[in-house]
């Protein structure tokens, strides 16, 4: 089969999974997620079956050990592919974080991606193992933000810390209520409703900050998994959902930095 040319590889390594994308310029043509256990076997098969011959591969990662394995897989499949591990200093925006060594590079990539694709100033909400709020200033800067435990992490902590709480799965009801009639519903409603309201109200706080500090409208971009469960709480919020925001940011960096 004929291979696609002008198609490159981008990889976002998170806390528990990694997302891999085939990109042409800034368009994500195909994407796949793998957990840490399965990717050494499944990733090579996926990239080799993709009928493309990437010249560039960009990786943003919170796990240096995974980087070593990824570089080996990519080099074995595409010996001529140029691999770059993205770090905070290689992203062409100013950064107001006090310690760049402690800043997850995916957060900076997300703000860079959101600002360039949707406009500055911007707020990125990433729904993952943690729920992060990251603010991009009007002069193309990373200004910091907030990090909350993710819903599943909070649920596990509650089950581990409450002796009388029975074991049951976390569910995300489409229409959570504020009055549960049994313990399972109380927990599931509480987490779903609590996170929905928290995210909605935090957006309002950041919008007010943007108005008072910069006299600017704040672009709100949400990424990550589970958006459908908080969407009902955000009906009146002007926002965008971009599932592949990080991968698009890596593709943008390829265009600007890896020519």
Q: Which of 12, 30, 106, 126 is catalytic?
A: 106
Do the beta carbons of residue 141 and residue 122 sit within 8 Å? no
* Residue 99: count of CB within 10 angstroms of its CB: 6
- How big is the chain by its Cα radius of gyration, in Å? 20
> What separation, in Å, do the N-terminal and C-terminal C-alpha atoms of the chain show?
27
Do the beta carbons of residue 78 and residue 53 sit within 8 Å? yes
Nearest Cα to Cα of residue 66 among 130, 12, 22, 106: 12
Helix (H), strand (E) at residue 126: strand 122-127
- Separation CA 240–CA 221 (nearest Å): 5
12 is catalytic: no
- Separation CA 259–CA 254 (nearest Å): 7
CA dihedral 30, 34, 40, 45 (to 10 degrees): -30
- Separation CA 141–CA 206 (nearest Å): 15
Structure token digits, residue 136 = 């991009």
All residues at 6 or more sequence positions from 45 whose CB lies less than 8 Å from its CB, including other chains: none
Nearest Cα to Cα of residue 113 among 28, 50, 210: 28
- Separation CA 80–CA 154 (nearest Å): 44
- Write out the catalytic residue numbers: 106
């Amino acid at each position: 089969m004929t291979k696609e040319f002008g198609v490159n590889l981008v990889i976002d390594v998170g806390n528990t999974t990694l997302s891999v994308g085939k990109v042409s310029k800034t368009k994500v043509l195909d994407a796949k997620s793998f957990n840490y256990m399965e990717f050494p076997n499944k990733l090579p098969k996926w990239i080799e079956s993709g009928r493309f011959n990437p010249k560039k591969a960009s990786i943003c990662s919170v796990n240096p050990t995974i980087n070593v394995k990824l570089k080996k897989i990519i080099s074995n499949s595409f010996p001529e592919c140029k691999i770059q591990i993205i770090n905070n200093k290689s992203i062409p925006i100013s950064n107001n974080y006090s310690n760049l060594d402690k800043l997850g590079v995916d957060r900076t990539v997300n703000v860079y991606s959101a600002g360039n694709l949707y406009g500055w100033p911007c707020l990125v909400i990433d729904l993952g193992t943690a729920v992060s709020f990251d603010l991009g200033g009007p002069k193309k800067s990373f200004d910091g933000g907030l990090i909350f435990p993710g819903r599943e992490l909070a649920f596990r902590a509650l089950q581990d810390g409450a002796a009388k709480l029975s074991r049951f799965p976390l569910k995300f009801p489409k229409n959570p209520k504020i009055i549960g009639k049994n313990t399972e519903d109380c927990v599931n409603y509480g987490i779903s409703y609590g996170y929905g309201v928290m995210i909605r109200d935090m957006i309002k706080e950041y919008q007010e900050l943007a108005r008072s500090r910069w006299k600017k409208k704040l672009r709100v971009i949400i990424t990550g998994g589970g958006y459908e469960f908080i969407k009902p709480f955000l009906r009146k919020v002007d926002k965008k959902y971009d599932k592949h925001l990080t991968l698009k940011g890596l593709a943008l960096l390829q265009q600007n930095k890896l020519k």
